[in-house]
Structure 1
Amino acid sequence: MGQNDNSTTPYKVASSDELGRYMVATRDLLPGDLVLTERPLVFAPKAMLDPEAQMPCVGCYKPVFTDIGERCAKCGWPVCSGNCPGLVDPRHHGVECAVLSTRPDCVLDNMADYYRHDALLPLRCILLQNTEPEKWKSVLDMQSHMECRGPGTEAYEEANEFIVEYLLENFINKLDKNIKNKYLTDISKELIHRICGIIDTNALEIRLPEGAELQALYANTCILEHSCIPNTKHTFNQSSADKNDSYKITVKVVIPIMKDEHITTMYSHALWGTEARRQHLKDTKYFSCKCPRCSDPTELGTYLSAMKCFGDGNKSCDGVHLPQNPLDDDTEWACSECPVKVNNSQINMLISQMGEEVDGVLMMGGSVPMLENLLCRLSTFLHPNHYHLYSLKHSLVQLYGRQPSYMSEEILDKKIKMCKDLIQITTTLDPGNARLSLYSSVLQHELHSALILKAKKVKSDGSFKTAEEIKSLLLEAKVCIERALEVLKDDMEETSGRKLYDVIEESKKDFEKYCKEKGISL
């Protein structure tokens, strides 16, 4: 906890026509200070990546193989075991089972269409109206943006097909009158659409250790305003002794917040360029971000979206293309050195095509030659710090120095420079490690390993480097490994964070052992 911690509530809720409800600090807040902690109002599993192969148990969310897994004795949905405690727990499957039981048949074909797990959270929300009226009221207080999700919109049609009609036709319309009166006194197509809007706007995703994901709604956390430079970080409790604390969220300060400043989180990806972030926020959250990062053509000096000058067809130019007004969807991109301008739609088309290439190579688990080839080609058009190149470089630094063909001193120097460049970008975009802590930790760890390998390299005459010659490399490596562990301090509840921490801790032990063997004190 920070030094400013005391009993007064660190925030108050304000509102405006532009932002709706938002939080402001009631006092100066320091990194580590607690903003809030709360239990979810409601949560439910999402569909898994390959639902024909695996689905989450509706009682505990552990992945189960759909073709051989057990089924709930009452409703037929896939479960880990007929004895799973969550099947009777009202916070999990206990209440919804009465509704889902109106269609008790089991199928083995078209499983993803038959068992739509993404429809469970809307159903669990609606069931709160009679089982937990206070929670239901809190859910209805949330923003739904129905004014932007009317008939004819993509959001409406998608929700209508996959959730609203699915729930009504398969379950709700077939309910026994007594069950309907007991649980669903107020139910309509419009209400389910409104709940879908509330979920799309406010739900947070929770990755579980076994691989499934949940969506959850939080009464107070949903008030946090978006910024592409967030000043808080949130984590989820997944290992509490008290089962009622499952998925409790904790929001902490990561960048100093002065009294009356807005308290913010981030709804988008920190390593997307401005155009991609703003479009995602418009499509999913129905607002246009105007934060300091989005307003700055250089994205805080990182040039994460910048293009190299296209030239005028006659001669090349060393300038950089940046949007003249990044908050204008129709802005032109102007060169910093010559008069050439390019319209936004041309830039977007190019970036989209390049993004598909990058995604394709990364999805195939790109080899070093594949990654280097694409990096070389895209570098003709993109600023060295462009986010597409960042993705390729982040993959490359995890391969350099780890394969026999890529262990030369030249490659290690290349890796060291690449790591330092990426660390600079990452730290600028996310100074509080709110969103990019795993990226940052991996980069510090890879920089550490490259420095150690360089220290161990024999000299051109075949002799080993002396302790004095490698001490500066080892000092730098020591700082890197300590930073790699430090940035993960708030990620220990996440499986990925815990695993990465354990790997880096082993590297630290190996490093300390090496220093001891060499008789080097740092």
Structure 2
Amino acid sequence: QQQQQQQSSAQSNNKSSSSEIENANESCDSTSKQLPYRIEKSTILGRYLVANRDLKAGELLITEEPLAIGPCVSADAVCLGCYMPVELQATQYRCPSCKWPMCGPKCRGLQQPTGHTAAECELLRTHNLGAALTAVADKPDLVKNYYELILIVRIFLLKQHAPDKYDNILKMESHTELRKNNIELWQYYEQNVVQRLQRDWGMAAFTVEEIHNICGILDVNCFEIGQNSAKARCLYTSAFLLAHDCCPNTAHTDDPHSYAIILRTSRAIRKDDGITLSYAYTLQGTLKRREFMHAGKLFWCCCQRCADPKELGTDCSALVCPKCKSGSVRSVEPLNQTAAWKCDRCEYTLQSTEIVKLLDAINMNLESIDAHNIPGLEGFLKKYERVLGPNHYLLLSAKYSLCQIYGRIEGYLLHTMPLENVEKKENYCRHFLSMINVLEPGLTRLRGLILYELHGAIMMRSQRLMMTGGISEAEFKRNIKEVVRCLQESRDILLLEPIGSNEHEMGVAAAGALTEMGVK
């Protein structure tokens, strides 16, 4: 059944590409490969992109501004112009016309196609939706639902104000028939989107089928983007053509000013190989990644990583056997969500439902810890190191947080931390890097960030030990060479990020540190 659903659901998620990408592709085929990719089609993947030639790591593949943009699903209150967080309190600035909360009177997204347009403002004002939002301010679920509706409304407004964009969106796959089979999902959209839009939001002119179709297109094809606290979701002209893989060969980011998606190769791709992107969070285990992909994209991922019980050797889903204490508990059939999990030493068995409950409980514990609470995160690692395997993704998540905050918050600044904490930071960085080198190899943002954090820990440890005679001069020099390598690679990765993003600023800092060291 899972395989049938996957075959009936194209990973590339489209009926046909826009005329723009079609024309470019035809030109590419007939004029010696002007584009680095072309569109292919298969029964399993649908339409997808493959390399037209050998591609190097870091090559720019796609950059395009959104066809449509709006608040994320389940978003808290955000500015409709720039998507920065706002409050629903009476003191929050509001649009003078429609009364929806905005960041301020000079928001850069006012009257802009990527923000709060005049047409949107008029619709919200006409139906008194600003007051309606204020009335439910103490009901978080309703607030989230109001913001979820914004992008759907914007797409329908495109039909009148930008019909070419609307037509391009309609060419994307919605998987309506598959969605109808998911009764819970269909009823949610029927009650919370279709009926509400037709009854309260002035969308009575659009049929039930039209609204469900747009809901499906958004679920299947949207990209979540965001820089510097702004969060939004977008539809793009051709980026949705990339097939999914849980160990992708591209990385994407977005421009914080134009919201354009910027997609590059993260590692070398051979001619005729598929060009892939991960629509799931790579630092999750197979059970959760596949569940996420099926819920949102309506297919069961069967990639190489998902099919491997040890996840490409990382073993980032394995549990410590609670019976023999020395074995590892893994799924006996990772492409089957309901398969049992067994110990590789004593045959101890758990049902998948028990695994899900355990993972959800541990994840809830992790999410309850403040992001800057170092003792809390250290306590989490200690509490679960005998339950989860050493490379388990939930432990990696806590270690990633510690990599970032050791050396950066009051009481734990790098130059004042005890050597023990400096070494902890270094060890966490090295462990995390060893995992991400497999799961997100190459020129990926996560690697760039961790390499930058690692360089600081190595430098500080080496300086401290050199001052106390703890290491030889030769070892100190070897360590400095490693610092330089970390900085160089971090710089090369993070300077690919958009100017103005936090990651790009870190890349600039890495370049500056190398200059101070007299290294290119």
TM-score under structure 1 normalisation? 0.81
Aligned-pair CA distance for 1:64 = 4.8
> Structure 2 counterpart of 1:206, which letter?
I
1:165 and 2:165 correspond: no
Q: Could you list the per-position Cα deviations for residues 352-388 of structure 1 after superposition, in whole angstroms to 9, with x for gaps in the alignment?
A: 2222222222x363233x3333212211122111111
Change (3 A) 1:89 1:398: closer
Partners in 2 of 1:387 and 1:306 — Cα distance? 9
Alpha-carbon distance in structure 1 between the residues aligned to 2:448 and 2:113? 39
Residue 489 of structure 2 aligns with an amino acid whose one-letter code is R
Q: In the alignment, which residue of structure 2 is the partner of 1:388? A: 394
Which string of whole-angstrom CA distances, capped at 9 and with x for unpartnered residues, describes residues 378-424 of structure 1? 11122111111112222334455675799444554444333222111
Q: Return the match for 1:451 from 437, 451, 458.
A: 458
| Stretch moving more, 447-456 or 373-382 | 447-456
Shift of residue 425 of structure 1?
A: 0.5
**Does residue 188 in structure 1 map to residue 207 in structure 2?**
yes
Q: Judging changes above 3 Å, is the alpha-carbon distance between structure 1 residues 469 and 250 closer, same or farther for their aligned structure 2 residues?
A: closer
In the alignment, the residues of structure 2 paired with residue 321 and residue 329 of structure 1 have an alpha-carbon distance, to the nearest angstrom, of: 15
Which runs of structure 2 are paired with 1:151-300 in the superposition (5 Å)? Answer: 153-172=183-202, 187-209=206-228, 211-239=229-257, 246-300=258-312
In the TM superposition, residue 277 of structure 1 has moved relative to its aligned partner by: 0.4
Which of these residues, 20, 42, 56, is aligned with residue 46 of structure 2? 20
- Residue 303 of structure 1: how far off its partner (Å): 0.8
Query: Which residue does 2:164 correspond to in 1?
Result: 134
Structure 1: which amino acid aligns with 2:256? Q
Q: 1:8 to 1:389 in 2, by over 3 A?
A: same
Alpha-carbon separation, structure 1, partners of 2:398 and 2:345? 28
Instruction: Tell me, in whole angstroms, the C-alpha distance in 2 between the residues paired with 1:327 and 1:129.
Output: 41
Q: Is the 8 A contact 1:205 1:214 kept in 2?
A: yes
- Inter-CA distance 379–89: structure 2 relative to 1 (3 Å threshold): closer
Q: Which residue of 1 aligns with 2:476?
A: 470
Distance in 1, Cα, partners of 2:245 & 2:62:
18
Residues 381, 173 of structure 1: alpha-carbon distance in 2 compared, 3 angstrom cutoff: closer
User: Unaligned 5+ residue runs, structure 1?
Assistant: 1-5, 175-185, 240-245
Residue 139 of structure 1 aligns to a residue in which SS?
A: helix
- Report how far residue 40 of structure 1 moved: 1.9
Q: Aligned partners of 1:470 and 1:431: how far apart in 2?
A: 28
Q: List aligned pairs for 1:85-96, cutoff 5 A.
A: 86-89=109-112, 92=115, 93-96=117-120
Taking a change above 3 Å as real, the CA distance of residues 372 and 43 of structure 1, as seen in their structure-2 partners, is closer
Distance change (3 Å), C-alpha of 1:29 and 1:374: same
Per the alignment, do residues 87 and 386 of structure 1 end up closer, same or farther by CA in structure 2, a change over 3 Å counting?
Answer: closer
1:365 and 2:372 are equivalent in the alignment: yes
Say if 2:226 and 2:254, in contact at 8 Å, map to a contact too. Answer: no
Give the superposition deviation at 1:502: 5.0
How many angstroms does 1:63 deviate by? 4.9
Kept in 1: contact 2:429–2:454 (CA 8 A): yes
Q: For residue 9 of structure 2, what is the aligned residue in structure 1? A: none
**Residue 428 of structure 1 pairs with residue 438 of structure 2:** yes
Moved more, 263-272 or 95-104: 95-104
Per-residue Cα deviation, 1:106-141 (whole angstroms, up to 9, x for no partner): 534424747923212111211222333322221111
- CA–CA distance in structure 2, aligned partners of residues 378 and 352 of structure 1: 13
> How far off is 1:215 after superposition?
1.7
Question: Aligned partners of 1:415, 1:60: CA distance in 2, in Å?
Answer: 35
Shift of 1:465: 6.1
What residue number does 1:99 align with?
Answer: 123
Structure 1 residues 373 and 236 mapped into 2: Cα distance closer, same or farther (>3 Å)? closer
Q: Write the distance in 2 (CA, Å) between the matches of 1:420 and 1:223.
A: 35
Amino acid across the alignment from 1:12:
R
Q: 2:322 maps to what in 1?
A: 310
Deviates more, 1:405-414 or 1:342-351: 405-414
Which of 101, 104, 108 matches 1:78? 101
SS at structure 2 position matched to 1:101: helix
Percent identity, aligned pairs only, is 31
Contact 2:449/2:503 (8 A) holds in 1 = no
- In structure 2, the CA distance between the partners of 1:352 and 1:131, relative to structure 1 (3 Å rule), is same
Q: In structure 1, how many angstroms separate the alpha carbons of the residues matched to 2:393 and 2:336?
A: 20
Instruction: Write the letter of the residue equivalent to 1:116.
Output: Y
Structure 2 vs 1, CA of residues 26 and 383 (structure 1 numbering), >3 Å: closer, same or farther?
same
Q: Distance in 1 between matches of 2:64 and 2:317?
A: 37
Give 1:335 deviation, angstroms: 2.6
Contact 2:86 2:92 in 1 (8 A): yes
Residue equivalent to 1:343: 351
User: 2:179 is matched with which residue: 122, 135, 149?
Assistant: 149
**Over residues 319-368 of structure 1, what are the superposed CA-to-partner deviations in whole Å (9 max), with x where a residue is unaligned?**
2222222101222223333333333222222222222222222x363233
Q: Secondary structure at the match of 1:23?
A: strand
Letter matched to residue 273 of structure 2 = E
Q: Does 1:377 align with 2:395?
A: no
More divergent stretch after superposition (130-139 vs 399-408): 399-408
8 Å Cα contact 1:86/1:94 also seen in 2: no
What do residues 276-322 of structure 1 show as CA deviations (whole Å, max 9, x unaligned)? 100000111100001111111111111111112233xxxx3522222
Tell me the equivalent position of 2:448. Answer: 441
Q: Distance in 1 between matches of 2:406 and 2:60?
A: 40
The RMSD of aligned alpha carbons is: 3.3
Change (3 A) 1:152 1:145: closer
Q: Retained in 1: the 8 A contact 2:280–2:289?
A: yes
CA distance in 2, matches of 1:408, 1:83: 46
- 1:495 maps to amino acid: S
Partner of 1:500: 506
Bigger CA radius of gyration: 1
Q: Is the CA contact (8 Å cut-off) linking 1:46 and 1:212 kept in structure 2?
A: no
1:354 corresponds to which residue? 362
Q: Structure 2: 5+ residue runs without aligned partners?
A: 1-31
Letter in 1 for 2:190: N
TM-score, length-scaled by structure 2: 0.81
Q: Secondary structure at the match of 2:262?
A: strand
The AA in structure 2 aligned to 1:137 is D
Distance 1:296 1:98, change over 3 A: same
Q: Structure 2 vs 1, CA of residues 450 and 235 (structure 1 numbering), >3 Å: closer, same or farther?
A: closer
Structure 2 CA distance for partners of 1:387 and 1:233, relative to 1, 3 Å = same
Distance in 1 separating the partners of 2:371 and 2:267: 37
The amino acid of 1:333's aligned partner reads W
- Cα deviation for residue 227 of structure 1 reads 0.5
Query: CA distance change for structure 1 residues 271 and 408 in 2, over 3 Å: closer, same or farther?
Result: same
Asked if residue 482 in structure 1 is aligned to residue 485 in structure 2, the reply is: no
Q: Identify which range, 152-161 or 127-136, moves more after superposition.
A: 152-161
1:152 CA displacement: 6.9
Residues 343 and 404 (structure 1), Cα distance of their counterparts in 2 relative to 1, 3 Å cut: closer
